[in-house]
Structure formats: structure tokens, C-alpha cells
Structure 1
Amino acid sequence: MAFLSPDQRELFLPLIEGIHESPPWGAFMRNLVARTYARRAFLIVTLANAMSAQEPTVLHVAAPRAAQEPPLDFRRLDALRLHPFGALRPGRVYALDEMLDYDHPARLAEQRAALHDMGIRYGRWLRVSAGGAADAWLLLVREREDFSATAVSALAAIAPHLTAALRTLGALTEQRLQAAMAQAALARLGVGQLAFDAGGRVMAADPWAEALLAFTPEPGLAPGRRLQVLPDVARALDAACAALAAGPAGGTRVIRLDERSALDVLLRKSDLALAEPCAFPAVIGTLRREHREAAREAVRTLAAVHGLSDREAALAHAISMGETIVEAGRRLRLTSETARNYSKRIYAKTGAAGQADLVRMVLTGLTPFA
């Protein structure tokens, strides 16, 4: 089949652009339904590393003439025990008759009755597999007449492109998970980060930084944003970024972004290792607000890591929050003498050389991430 510009515009380009949609490939599915004159369709996407109980991503699409009809029930279809989806050969288009169980007349009658009840007389199944990283199943159905050879040919032709898009989606999903884990860990510490170019333009900001700061678009058509700060702060920030970008590795600067809230940003020359192609930042900015973990989770973590009792862990955490042994003991309904005895047991179990060393151990251990 010769691929004309409509194929590129309506099917292949939406496959590339649709990777970033949530759920993915909505425009592609709508265009595919229109091109094949399907009545209804669904796309099921499962990731190989998803939990067994996790629901697959299911995208339902209907032609305008079927907009009021209920979406295809993929669970009901699965319960019909048609040709097992996992056994479908990737890249091959299957007709409805190939999915039915002709070896068992009673089951065949049950399948036909259920399909008729769902308004499915003709259908095409397509499975694509991304090398063990993800799988997708595509179903198109019609009610009054079968799909044309042109429609089936178009469906077969998109199989390798959908496979490539699925492989890219799997890799992107893994990268999103890595980024989300890193951002969540920093947020638990009250830390936000930004990437600057040598001119002080903000290239990227994590969610915590977005919440703490205000931004203004870069003037003109240039990409990126600027921090919305006072003019003298903006000049200092731009100068610091330029100096760090031109300076040796390991350089740092601190800029007070807001005097009223005492919000500072630590700037350091970027040493990120990024794969090409990428836009390398010149400077990384780090913000931090006072933020401590919930006491209940912290106590559990301290007890588990150091073998402390609940009372001992609660006292250790209170000390790390800045309370004195006596103050913490009083809040925990301990006498001063009992609190001091507890502290000695804490030092012995943790190996801390004293109160300051205990605080260091708590703050540099797993407790802040509880």
C-alpha cells in the first residue's frame, strides 16, 4: 500500500506526538477509526513491570455515529475466551472468525450471542509487542458490513510503527518513574531544584521549586522563563550564573531571592551527565524550606533501623527536632531521670557519641525520607 501524505499526517505523526498524551494516542485512535470506517474501538496498553493487580490503560474511541453507544467492554470480551490475546502473533491482523471457538459448539454459540448483544458483527484484532517492555491490543469493530481490504491493509501497515511507539512509551515511562522518585525524595527533604543557562534563564524546575517560586516568560520568542524577583536580585542571579558557567568545576554562589521569606538559592556549576542530544544547563539552583517528616513514620523508621523501642525512638526523633532531652521526656510523659536513662540506651544502641552525633545520624539516615 502506498503511503500518501494523509497517512503520514493522520496516523504516523499522531503516533509520535501521542506518546506524550495521557492516556496516549487519543488522536491516533480517532483518526484510525475514521480512516477504517470502524464504529467503535479500544486500545489496551500494559507495561511489563506493572503490578499484577494494576489496571491496564484502556482507550475507548467511537465514531460520531456511535457516540451515544456504550464503549466496548474489554472485560466482557475477555470473559468470552476468544483467541487468547497473549497468543496472538504480534503484527498480524486477526478477523473475528479467527477468534471464535469452532471446536466447541456450545461455547461458539455463547460467543456469537454475546458479540451480537454488544453490537459486534465484524472485528479486527491487532497485537503489538515492545520486546518484553510493553504490549498493546487494538480492536476495531463494525456492525453492518465487514472492513474493506484497504482498511485491513492500513491496520497491518501501522503495526511496526505502533510497535516502535510502544517501545518508546515503555522507555519514557521508566524515565518518568525515575524522575518522580527523585523528585519525591527531594520534596520530603523540602528541597527544590532548577536548571539555569549561563544567562540566568530557567530551563527546567521541579514541582517543589514551581510551588515555591514565581516565574515570568522569557521575552520574545525565546524558550524558557525567568524568576520573578526584584530587579537587583535578577541582576545578581544573572551575574552569578554567568560567572559560574565560565568558572571552574565546583564553584558555588548563594543568592537571597526573597528577603521577607528569607528564601535563598544555592547555585553550583552544573556537573550533570546527560545523554545527547540534550540542552546542557550551566548552573543548578537548589532551594530548601524547613520540612521534616511525620513523627509517627519517623519513629517507626528509627526503631527498625537501630533496634530501638517505641519510646526510645520517639525520644531520639524529638531530640533531632531540636528539643532537649528533658523537654522531649516531659512531652513523652517521662521523668527527667528516665529520659536521661533512655538517652544512654539510645546512644548505646545507635553507636552515637552523644546528642549532637545522634542528631547527625538521624538527619543523614533514612528517617527524613520516612
Structure 2
Amino acid sequence: MAFLPADQRELFLPIVEGIHENPPWSAFMRNLVARTYARRAFMLIALANAPADHEPTVLHVAAPRAANEPPLDFRQIHALNLHPYGQLRSERVYDLDEMLDYDRRDQLARQREVLNAMGVRYGRWLRISAPGVADAWLLLVREREDFSASAVATLSTIAPHLASALRTLGALIEQRLQAAMAQAALARMGAGQLALDAGGRVMAADPEAERWLAFLPDPDHAQGRRLQLLPETARALEARCAELAAAPAGATTALMVDERRAIWLLLRKANLALVEPHAAPAVIATLRMGRRENERSAVRTIAAIHGLSDREAALAHALTMGESILEAGRRLRLTPETARNYSKRIYAKTGARGQADLVRMVLDGLAPFS
């Protein structure tokens, strides 16, 4: 089957670009329904490491003539006990008749009755598998006549491309998870980060930095941004970035970028380990706002790590907030004598050599991430 430039534009490119859509492959599915003259369709994506009770991602598509019809109920179709999804050979196109149970007449009659009620008389199944990463199932249905040989050939041709895209999507999902974990940990501590080039242009910013800082389009770069700063501060940032770009590894400096809100940036020469191809930043800028961890979670963490009682852990956490033993005791409704006795037990259990050492121990541990 010969493919034209239109096929490239309407099918193959949307498979690649669809990796970044939410949900993935929306444009591809619309184009595929139009190309095969399907009436309705769905794509179901299940990640290999998803918990058992996690709902798969399901994308429903209908042709314009079926826009007012209900979407295909994949749960109801699954309940018909058609050919088990996991046993379908990956990248092979299956006719609906191959999925029916011809060995049991009663079951076959029930399957046909339910499918007919859903307007499913003709269908094509396609399973795409990325072992250890994800599985996808694609179903296209028609009501009045079967799919043409050309439509089936189209499905067969796009199958390996879709399988490759599914593997890429799995890798991208893992990277997104890694980034989300890192960003969430920083956000719990009120920290945000930006990647800057040697001229101070913003290459990337995490959600916490986006929240606290303002940005302007870079007039010299169509896709670039710069921090919205006072002119003298902007010039200072550019100069610091240029200096750090030429500095030895580990070089740092600090710059006040918003005096009214007391926002400082810690600028560090970037030394990120990136794979090729990459655009390496010259500087990583870190900001930190006045935010502390959830008190209850932190107290539970301190108690678990150091073998403290809940009251002892609450007192230890209060000390890390800058309170004295007596101030913390009053807030926790402890008498001065009880607060002092608790502090002695805390020092004994944690091995801290005093209040300052205890504060260091807690802040160096996991409590700030609670």
C-alpha cells in the first residue's frame, strides 16, 4: 500500500507529536477515525507499573455523524469476555469475529446482543505492547458495513510506529515522575529553581520559581524569557551569570532580585550531568521562601526516626522553629519543669549535645520533607 504525503501529515506525524498531548494521541485518533471511516473508536492505555485499582487512560473518538451517540463503553465490552486482551498478538489487526466465543452458543448470543445494542456490528482490534512499560488497545467500529482492506492495511502499517511511540511515552512518563518528585520535595521546603544561560536568559523554571517570580519575553530570542527585574538588577544578574559561566566548578554567589519581598537568588555554576543532545545551562538559580513543613507530619517523622514520644517530638520540632524550651512548653501546655524533663529525654534519645545540635540534627534529617 503506497502512502502519500497526506498520510505522513495526518497519521505518522500525529503519532510522534501525540506523545506530548493530554491525553496522548488525540489528533491521531481523530485522523484515524476519519481515514478508516470508523463510526466510533477508543484507545485504552495501561501502564505496567500502575496499581491494580488505577483507571487506565481511555480516549474516546467519534465521527461527526456519530457525535451525539454515547461513547463506546469499554468496561461493558470487557465484561463480554471477548478474546482476552493480553493474549492478542501485538501489532496484529483482529476482526471482531475473531474475538467472539463460537464454542459456547449462549455466550456468543449474549456477546452479539450487547454489541448490537451498542451499535457495534463490525470492528477491528489492535493491541500495541511495550513490554514492561505499557500496553495499548485500539478498537474501531462500524455499524452498517465492514472496514475496507485499505482501512485494515492502514492499521497494520501504523502499528509499529505506534508501538515505538508507546515506548517513548513510557520513558517520558518516567522522566515526568522523576521531575515531579524533585519539584514536590523542593516545594515543601519553599524552594524553587531556574536554569539560566551565560547571559541571564531563563532556559527553564520549576513551578515554585514560576509562582514567585515574574517573567518577560526575551526580545532577542523568540522562545526565550528573562526575569522581570529593575534595570540595575537585571544588569547585575547578567554580569553574575557571565562571571559564573567562566568560574571554576562549585562557584556561587547571591543576588537580591526583589527587595520588597526579600527574594534572593543563590546562583551556582551549573554542573548538571545531561545526555546528548542538550542545551546546558551556565547557572542554576535557587530561591527559597519562608515556608516550613507540615507540623504534624514532621512530628511523626521525628518521633519515628529518633524513638521519641509524640510530645517529645513536638517539643523537638518546636525548637527547630526558633522557640525556646519554655516558649515551646507553654504552647504545648507543658509546665516549665515538664518541658525541661522532656528536653533531657530528647537529648538522651537523639544523642544531641544541646539545643543547637538537636536543631541541626532535625533540619539535616527527613523532617523538612514531611
Q: Distance in 2 between matches of 1:56 and 1:286?
A: 37
Paired residue for 2:25?
25
Q: Distance in 2 between matches of 1:295 and 1:220?
A: 46
Paired residue for 1:61?
61
Q: Which moved more, 1:57-66 or 1:261-270?
A: 261-270
Paired residue for 1:274?
274
SS of structure 2 residue aligned to 1:267: strand
Q: Within 5 A, what are the aligned runs for 1:1-370? A: 1-370=1-370
> CA offsets per residue over residues 309-358 of structure 1, 9 Å max, x none?
01101100111111100111111111111100100000111111110011
Q: Distance in 1 between matches of 2:104 and 2:220?
A: 69
Q: Cα offset for 1:76? A: 0.1
Q: Cα offset for 1:290? A: 1.4
> CA offsets per residue over residues 221-263 of structure 1, 9 Å max, x none?
4321000000000000000000110121111111110111111
Residue identity opposite 1:4 in structure 2: L
Q: Distance in 1 between matches of 2:339 and 2:96?
A: 75
Calculate the TM-score normalised by the size of structure 1.
0.99
Residue identity opposite 2:311 in structure 1: R
Q: Distance in 2 between matches of 1:138 and 1:261?
A: 53
SS of structure 1 residue aligned to 2:200: coil
> CA offsets per residue over residues 263-285 of structure 1, 9 Å max, x none?
11010110000000111000000
SS of structure 2 residue aligned to 1:223: coil
Q: Distance in 2 between matches of 1:222 and 1:125?
A: 44
Residue identity opposite 1:6 in structure 2: A
Residue identity opposite 1:356 in structure 2: A
Residue identity opposite 1:247 in structure 2: A
SS of structure 1 residue aligned to 2:136: strand
Q: Distance in 1 between matches of 2:308 and 2:220?
A: 59
Residue identity opposite 2:203 in structure 1: M
Q: Distance in 1 between matches of 2:262 and 2:220?
A: 31
Q: Distance in 1 between matches of 2:201 and 2:221?
A: 13
Residue identity opposite 2:58 in structure 1: V
Q: Distance in 2 between matches of 1:306 and 1:359?
A: 13
Residue identity opposite 2:172 in structure 1: L
Residue identity opposite 2:287 in structure 1: L
SS of structure 2 residue aligned to 1:147: coil
Q: Distance in 1 between matches of 2:225 and 2:148?
A: 51
SS of structure 1 residue aligned to 2:254: strand
Q: Distance in 1 between matches of 2:109 and 2:262?
A: 74
SS of structure 2 residue aligned to 1:136: strand
Residue identity opposite 2:29 in structure 1: M
Q: Which moved more, 1:135-144 or 1:245-254?
A: 245-254
Calculate the TM-score normalised by the size of structure 2.
0.99
Q: Distance in 1 between matches of 2:57 and 2:174?
A: 16
Q: Distance in 2 between matches of 1:90 and 1:290?
A: 53
Q: Distance in 1 between matches of 2:279 and 2:240?
A: 20
Q: Cα offset for 1:220? A: 4.4
Q: Distance in 1 between matches of 2:333 and 2:210?
A: 41
Residue identity opposite 2:134 in structure 1: A
Q: Distance in 2 between matches of 1:189 and 1:132?
A: 34
Q: Distance in 2 between matches of 1:17 and 1:72?
A: 25
Query: Which 4+ stretches in 1 moved above 2 angstroms?
Result: 220-223
Q: Distance in 1 between matches of 2:188 and 2:53?
A: 28
Residue identity opposite 1:296 in structure 2: R
> CA offsets per residue over residues 81-113 of structure 1, 9 Å max, x none?
000011100010000100000000000000000
Q: How many residue pairs are counted as aligned between the two chains?
A: 370
Q: Distance in 2 between matches of 1:220 and 1:322?
A: 47
The percentage of counterpart residues that share the same residue type is 74
Q: Distance in 2 between matches of 1:262 and 1:233?
A: 13
Q: Cα offset for 1:131? A: 2.3
Q: Distance in 1 between matches of 2:246 and 2:264?
A: 22
Residue identity opposite 1:336 in structure 2: P
Q: Cα offset for 1:132? A: 2.0
Gaps of 5+ in 1: none
RMSD (Å), alpha carbons: 0.7
Q: Cα offset for 1:6? A: 1.1
